[in-house]
Structure formats: C-alpha cells, structure tokens
C-alpha cells in the first residue's frame, strides 16, 4: 500500500465520520417550542382525499393556519361547527 492511499483513506474516513455525527445531531435536536398563547381550542374534522383517513382537530395553532397533511396532500375540511374557532 502506498502512503498516499492510506492518507486519502484516513481523510475520507474522517469526513464521513464528521458528516455522520453532524446529521445525527441535527436529527436529534428537538423542534422549536410552540408558545402556549398561540394555541387555542377548536373542533374541525378533516379527511384525506387520497386514502380517506379522517382527523379530528381539537387544538390548533393560531399563527400557522393551514390544513393538516396526509399522503403528501392537504386534507380537506369536512365539518366545523359555527361556534368553534
């Protein structure tokens, strides 16, 4: 074995190791905390247009107003009572 080949192999190993550690740390970090004041009670029923799965939403974020996603598509709002949210 050539010395240059060994040095290249060690350098590649170090780069792969550092990249792996960075990715694992990034995946292990918790998501940002949600402010409790931005969450309110609601009652809404959503249905997935692809597979038909249904979700009943009882708490919702006031800041991020968007439908939940399932099967990589936005779910459609099926029912929401007039007095809720």
Round to whole Å and give the CA distance between 73 and 30. Answer: 25
So what's the pLDDT on residue 12? 98
Stronger pLDDT, 33 or 84, i.e. the higher one = 33
Tokens of 30: 């918790």
Tell me the pLDDT tens digit for each residue of 33-78. 777 888 888 888 999 999 989 999 888 888 777 888 899 899 998 8
Round to whole Å and give the CA distance between 75 and 67. Answer: 6
pTM above 0.75, yes or no: no
So what's the pLDDT on residue 82? 62
Tell me the pLDDT tens digit for each residue of 30-44. 777 777 888 888 888
């Amino acid at each position: 074995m050539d010395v240059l080949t060994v040095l290249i192999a060690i350098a590649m190993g170090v780069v792969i190791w550092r990249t792996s550690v960075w990715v694992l740390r990034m995946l292990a970090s918790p998501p940002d905390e949600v402010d409790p004041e931005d969450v309110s009670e609601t009652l809404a029923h959503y249905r997935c247009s692809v597979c038909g799965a249904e979700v009943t939403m009882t708490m919702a974020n006031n800041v991020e107003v968007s439908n939940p996603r399932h099967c990589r598509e936005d779910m459609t709002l099926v029912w929401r009572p007039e007095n809720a949210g």
